[in-house]
Amino acid sequence: MAAAHSAGRQQGGVHALLEMEMSGKLRRQFRTRALEQPVVLIVHQDRDTREMYAEFLRRHRIVVLTHERAEEALRVATLADAIVTDLRLPGTMDGLQLIARVRADDRTAEATIIVLTASVFSRDRAAAAAAGADTFLPMPCLPHDLLKHLHSSLAPPSAATRRHGNREDAHAAPEKRTA
The per-residue pLDDT for range 119-170, each reduced to its tens digit, is 999 999 999 999 999 999 999 999 999 999 999 998 765 544 433 343 333 3
Could you tell me the CATH number of the domain that includes residue 117? 3.40.50.2300
Average pLDDT over residues 68-81: 96
- The answer to whether the Cα torsion of 104, 105, 110, 114 is positive or negative is negative
Residue 52 located in a structural domain? yes
For residue 178, the one-letter residue type is T
Residue 162 located in a structural domain? no
* pLDDT of residue 5 exceeding 70: no
Residue 102 located in a structural domain? yes
Task: Look at residue 110 in the predicted model and tell me its pLDDT.
Answer: 94
Q: Are residues 19 and 41 in the same domain?
A: no
Task: Look at residue 160 in the predicted model and tell me its pLDDT.
Answer: 41
Orientation angle between helical segments 2-23 and 25-33, nearest 10 degrees? 90
Query: Does residue 19 or residue 100 have the better pLDDT?
Result: 100
Q: What is the pLDDT of residues 14-31, one digit of tens each?
A: 444 555 554 454 554 554
Q: Report how far apart, in Å, the C-alpha atoms of 163 and of each of 14, 109, 166 are.
A: 44, 21, 8
Residue 167 located in a structural domain? no
Going by pLDDT thresholds of 50, 70 and 90, the confidence category of residue 6 is very low
Range of the domain at 19: 1-33
Query: How many domains does the chain divide into?
Result: 2
Q: Which long-range contacts (CB under 8 A, 24 or more apart) does 89-94 make?
A: 89/43, 89/44, 89/45, 90/45, 93/69, 94/70
Q: Are residues 104 and 131 in the same domain?
A: yes
Q: Are residues 7 and 57 in the same domain?
A: no
Q: What is the pLDDT of residues 37-67, one digit of tens each?
A: 899 999 999 999 999 999 999 999 999 999 9
